[in-house]
């Protein structure tokens, strides 16, 4: 198994998508995005790399061939040589690995997906589909916007009250710890849960919609 999170370097896209933009939906030149995806495939050494049409949902799709182009926000698979990718530019990219049953998953957890527990549902789907055990599963939450920068309106705070920071009358969400507590409550072991401390809005090495508005997408990828 290999897994990692890309940054914005090493591709061919031009500003404001420079340079390793992996999203086709952001009005970047399609040929540039395709070249960037080919470079990622070559880096992984795989024949197939599956991206989702992400819709801010809790829909999970089983990938069986590597030719799928699913409309969803999470994927699971046990097929070798088929990499799964989740695109983000502030939302949390989540990767899953069951080393016992050799199964993987990815999930896209922004504010809506987090509220819908898409990450936790993905872990449960791996248990139901592959016989995975929650206490053996490893999970990585990649670079994403943190509470230092994730300011929201009061209407967006419902259900997140425990993970809310109020500074000078402004509201800031902590989606990382919301997901952490939800994973631990589900049965994931703390030592099997890794959370990146990189805030994408603070760190210009990563694409950030909050910081840049018109920008690219980086990915979390995992493959057996």
- Residue 33 confidence (pLDDT): 96
Q: How many CB atoms lie within 10 A of CB 133?
A: 13
Pick from 8-12, 74-78, 97-101, 167-171: least confident: 167-171
- The model's pTM: 0.95
CATH number for the region 2-146+190-223 comes to: 3.60.140.10
Compute the distance between CA of residue 218 and CA of residue 220 in angstroms, rounded to an integer. 7
Whole-Å CA distances, 199 to 9, 58, 204, 206:
17, 24, 9, 9
Where do the domains of the chain lie? 2-146+190-223
pLDDT digits (tens, 9 = 90+) for 84-100: 999 999 999 999 999 99
pLDDT digits (tens, 9 = 90+) for 73-82: 999 999 999 9
At 204, list the tokens. Answer: 């210009």
């Amino acid at each position: 198994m290999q897994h990692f999170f890309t940054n914005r370097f090493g591709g061919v896209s031009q500003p404001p998508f420079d340079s390793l933009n992996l999203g086709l939906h952001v009005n970047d030149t399609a040929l540039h995005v395709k070249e960037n995806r080919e470079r990622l495939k070559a880096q992984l050494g795989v024949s197939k790399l599956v991206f989702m049409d992400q819709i801010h949902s809790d829909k999970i799709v089983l990938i069986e061939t590597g030719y799928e182009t699913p409309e969803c926000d999470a994927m699971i698979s046990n097929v070798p040589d088929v990499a799964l990718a989740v695109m983000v530019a502030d939302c949390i990219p989540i990767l899953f690995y069951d080393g016992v049953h050799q199964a993987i998953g990815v999930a896209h957890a922004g504010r809506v997906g987090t509220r819908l527990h898409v990450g936790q549902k993905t872990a449960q789907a791996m248990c139901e589909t592959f016989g995975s055990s929650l206490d053996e599963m490893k999970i990585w939450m990649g670079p994403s916007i943190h509470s230092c920068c994730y300011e929201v309106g009061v209407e967006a705070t419902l259900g997140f009250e425990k993970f809310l920071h109020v500074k000078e009358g402004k509201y800031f969400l902590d989606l990382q710890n919301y997901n952490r507590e939800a994973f631990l409550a589900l049965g994931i072991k703390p030592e099997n849960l890794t959370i990146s401390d990189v805030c994408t809005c603070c760190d210009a090495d990563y694409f950030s919609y909050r910081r840049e508005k018109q920008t690219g997408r980086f990915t979390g990828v995992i493959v057996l």
